[in-house]
Chains A and B, each alone.
Chain A
Amino acid sequence: MLETLSQRLGAVVKNLRGQGRLTEANVQDALREVRVALLEADVALPVVRDFIARVRERALGQDVLQSLTPGQMLIGIVHKELTALMGEQAAPLSFAAQPPVVYLMAGLQGAGKTTTCGKLVRVIRERGKKKVLMVSCDVYRPAAIEQLKTVAAQAEADFFPSDPTQRPAAIALAALDHARRHHYDVLLVDTAGRLHVDEAMMQEIQELHRALDPVETLFVVDAMQGQDAVNTARAFNEALPLTGVVLTKLDGDARGGAALSVRQITGRPIKLVGVGEKLSGIEVFHPERMASRILGMGDVLSLIEEAQKGVDQAEALKVAKKLKAGKGFDLEDFKAQIQQMKKMGGLSTLMDKLPGAGAVQAGDLAAGEKQMRRVEGIINAMTPEERRHPALLKASRKRRIAAGSGVTVQEVNRLLAQFEQAQKMMKTLAKGGMGKMMGRLKGILPGMP
């Protein structure tokens, strides 16, 4: 996610390692590098200045004398300050109001408001709020309402129809009335993208806010946004009582300095981050973990959480039962596992969260995902009987499977070896749980570099 920043700070610290202690001069050099790194990561200049000043102050204080190595010390300070900059803890969505609880989305054009609406449904459901209604107040962009309707259908939420000839405030009030009378838990109000300098449009959303009195007014920000993030965030924050920020398209970028800027300027917590195009591609924002990730520590915790969420509970239970009943983990289960990996967003999403993921080349990942599809194909070419009893697979059956799935017999053999490893892992899992599995994940998943 923020590898480039991690790499840069890593390089800075490496340069420091050879030196005995931090001096005014070498801190100066290191901080200049940090400054360039943050600027190239699109952190806004005033935020960068503030950050550098704070780190310098700490680095030249007495803390340094107690440190083991200057590099460790500097990493510690940078990490602490980054965490502080992004807000100390994760901030959950609020439902503190008489239902229907209203959420209002705001942001620039193309920030990802409509997609985020779809993703929010999942988060809301996880919090036990079942009945969700969506409405679009975007009467400007062609087919915007149609888009939200499709998204609502995908997310299995209800959709309140609106029409481009209506006034946005009228649409909002009608939807609120409908939500009240039909006892909805949550009403999600999507709005048109707008420029913060467009006064008429900013007035319109203020009017919407007055009419709806939302519990959450979420500012949706593209994580790739540049220096201007400061200006838009400030303007939206002044026009609306924002309650939180959603950072989108975080999977696409190596940097993402906008996260730092927006948090600093608005003072509002970043509540959620959008990753990928699937409806499940939304995560809680963890400032502390984000800071760790910036420093190259990976984000193992967030990965585990994601794994637990993405894994179909029923499917997992079935496997667990089977293991308990003394029946082995078979190729059906192996296939199901691969499919669950896909559900979690594929290898690239997972690898992004593992420590040292910077070392894995994008090309390797693509090859890995291809390999996963291949493995699925091979398993599909087996009979149900063979999948349940892999011991049946001898030379002639292997030849048939290889021909049926368009691979070589060697590849079938390789798959079977991987399967055996996975079988062992499932035994570990039955005993030791997720933590151990994560440790071994890299060696066992098919096609993983």
Chain B
Amino acid sequence: MRACFARIGVEQPWLHQQRGLEALHRGRDLVLATATASGKSLCYQAPVLQAALADPAARALFLFPTKALARDQVEALRSLVDERTPLAGCVGAGTYDGDTPPDQRRAARARAHVIATNPDMLHRAVLPHHDRWASFLAGLRYVVIDELHSYRGVFGSHVANVLRRLWRVCAFHGSRPQIIACSATIANPVELAESLCARREFELIDQSTAPVGSRTFVVLNPRVVDPLTGVRRDYLKCTRAVLGKLRAADVTTLAFCRTRKAVELLTRYLREDEVGVVEQGRSPLDLPGSPQGAVGPWARMQGRASGGGGERSEFRRAPERTGPVDRGAVDRAERSIRGYRGGYLPEHRREIEAALRRGEAKIVASTNALELGMDIGGLDAVVLAGYPGTRAATWQRSGRAGRRQEPALTLMVLSSRPLDQFVAAAPEFLFGEPPEHARVDPLNPEILIPHLRCAAYELPFGFENGQGWWSSWGGLEPEELRDALEYLAERAVLLREDQRYYAIGSAFPADGVDLRGSIEENFTVIEELPGRAEHGRVLAEVDFEDGPLYLHPGAIYPLEGKTFEVRRLDWDQRKAYVREAQVTYYTEAVSNLRVRMLEGSGSGARGSSETPTGTGYAHVVRAVPGFKKLRFRTHENVGFGPINLPDLELHTVAAYWGFPDQLLAWLADPYRRSNAALAAAHAIHHVAAMTLMCEVGDLCHAVASGTPGPEGVAAFAPVGNNRPSTEASMLAGGRPTIYLYDKTPGGVGLATRTQALGRSLFAGVLAVVRGCRCSHGCPTCIGTEVALTPHSSAQILDPSGVVAEAHADPEFVARRHARADLIATLEALADGLSPT
């Protein structure tokens, strides 16, 4: 085994790896919370190999959140023990997931020592058929859980319950595996591991002793272009310039963008720059006959510009002038500059990762899809186009840079969003605060109860004095478990015989529980080229929710630098037919959100200071009425089109709080009212997520106008990451009501519990807002929807290029009072609630 590791360059483990291995040897469970590329895989590969060599019946289970990661790690393990090593043929590893063909599944089940899978497959395919896995489960020695930090929120609660079912089944077959958990840097790794795995004592390794080269972190705020209005340069253009400089210095770079559109735009612009770049002043295809000795539109334009006598700034291009393009340069550009995002097909993504490993791809623009730990070799630099939103994501992405002990560079270009400008004003926010907490609540009854049913289907529950697995569930007292089972028995889902509970019914319980809460199928993008070989080729996949936004008829769908126009969208079949088109504009869909209470229990306001509040079923609709056409590079608006597609509906449970009349009277100005409502909604959302131990993404907040009643109310709700339109703000300013709803269809009880907290919730919110050290309001307390300029009175430039109307005074005044208004609103809401 040592020879095998020496082959890949590991002679001795680092100190932190050694401590981990020793802890495992003593029989304890392990949590590794070191940074990326600190050798976490050694800490689980070595013990697993050792166990397999010592005992041929020993087995190990690797859990990964995605299939791609699982495949990658299995390949890594196989290459560790392939034919050229001393351990050839001794240890077998296989993936077992939805993509595995049936004969490979049988082989893996029967013979593989190591099986890599994901929680969904474990839930649906392994646990219900645990009888067939008897030999594997009986010999299970290690369970490796990778990317532990991704199991949080509602998804984490589901996975926690799946793991508890796994421990039951393991105990039935007679094994108690050791857990090795690998996590990114979060504030509470041990706590997360304990609540996920229902085990008490974890050994934590969070300091990496592996030497790293020096790391430089640069925060770049684009300069102000127009001092009068305070507009800053577009962050994408700035990123392009930065990447151009890095490319000229031949630095392998990974550019992380926040949105897919940014990835596509950046790829396209960089390739154009690359094609136009003339190598060492001379193009290889320099023909003696060509007029100015320059090939390619960019070089020709440079020549024209300098010959034409006009002063041109370095990065502004004249409008389209087509001409013959140097095909060789285009190919080189396409190979060295790639785009990457989750919607690409798996083969395509494998190919890009391989190109990165080989060093063929020099610059890759990507979404957060490349954030997870796939092996892409080393990079010299990472550029973040825009602040990723959380510190944890920033450190995760920045950790991709740096080959072994060589200096690494991370460069963050800030956009004009309020959160980014806040970071620009106070960069110590990035470095000073600890990373975020990961929260998970496995005992949420909405999630626990269906999993108990699945568990009863696998093995019955019994409360006689039998083995432990009959009557135990991690973290739950036996009496509480019995109550939960009684609840299920009352609903005729379980059958109670004496002290035992059996699952009855022919429906397969695991089919009714989806770990990720998504039910709809993705859209596939299909190329339409009748008469050619590529006709009917699948290009990419798009999530169901994003389908109407990116694949409406008439949309321009960019894919790795090429633009395709969507000709036809087959909604029922989930197919979009596209054709490649040379266009000068791209499209962006406009969406708005409506929240309607269907029915609920709540109190209408009776007194002038009472807060109307309640919970109930809500119908959330996201409609996409039309789209804008925006020209490339200048981003100016050149057209508009309608969209007729079904709305995205969500039936869920919502809690609402209305403004008491007294507060409405006090806050007369509509801007201040809407700002205060938005800020209060944001604060309630975040504090609720903290209190209920779920993720911020599991809840959603909205502000609508009007009081909800038994017949429901519909209004436009400004919500989301973008700044609300002026119209929506005005509407919200009428009689604002704050809604908080679960993002999961049907609700998981989060909103209900929030509303039930009553005054204690608002006490918590006020504590957070008062404790914030800002003067006028910062993203932490006010949120990102409220317009925020801490130091200047400048307007914010919308990324699409549309400049907001210049409301000079009332908005500015409203912003200045934002924090005070927020505190007043919260106090009024809290006072208006009945004391519980």
A and B assemble together:
no
| B positions within 8 Å CB-CB of A | none
Chain A residues engaging chain B, CB cutoff 8 angstroms? none
